[in-house]
Amino acid sequence: MDYVWVKAFHLIAVMSWMAGLLYLPRLFVYHAMVEAESLRAQTFKLMERRLLRAIMNPAMILSWLLGLWLLHQNPELLVMPWIWVKLTCVVLMTAAHMVFARMRRQLEQDIALSEKAYRWWNEVPTILMIIIVIMAIVEPF
């Protein structure tokens, strides 16, 4: 497949993954505000599970596979320092994804953090995304 097509599908997968990473902790905030075992809590559990399993997990996997394929096709990128900052942030984004998955499982069992804690976690993907985009577009070093 042509490099630019793979790059386009990589960006589509990344945007889908990011949409989930930005939305899921927001759902956690609202979930933490409702009574456990309520109908609203059950609705949030369903929304969180579907978002993670049907959108975020496949998008993350596809982002990684296509990104690695792009690196395989363009290995000279690996000598540039900015790519290592970007890749480090992608690993941290993956770690955040895993933390969110654990939070979702805890909420499924009615074990919740504070609303404020979820609000803080909501900022992690945003900060990482900003760094990743700057590294990929500006290539500052």
Per-residue model confidence (pLDDT) at position 122: 96
The residues, any chain, with a CB within 8 Å of residue 33's CB and separated by 6 or more, are 115
pLDDT in tens, 25-58: 999 999 999 999 999 999 999 999 999 999 999 9
Residues of the chain predicted below pLDDT 50: none
Structural domain boundaries in the chain? 3-138
Predicted structure pTM score? 0.94
Per-residue model confidence (pLDDT) at position 1: 72
Report long-range pairs for 11-14 (Cβ below 8 Å, ≥24 apart).
Answer: 13/59, 13/62, 13/63, 13/66, 14/59, 14/63, 14/67
Six token digits for residue 42: 């059950």
Whether 24 contacts 56, CB under 8 Å: yes
Per-residue model confidence (pLDDT) at position 128: 98
Whether 44 contacts 27, CB under 8 Å: yes
Per-residue model confidence (pLDDT) at position 29: 97
CA angle 35, 123, 11 (to 5 degrees): 115
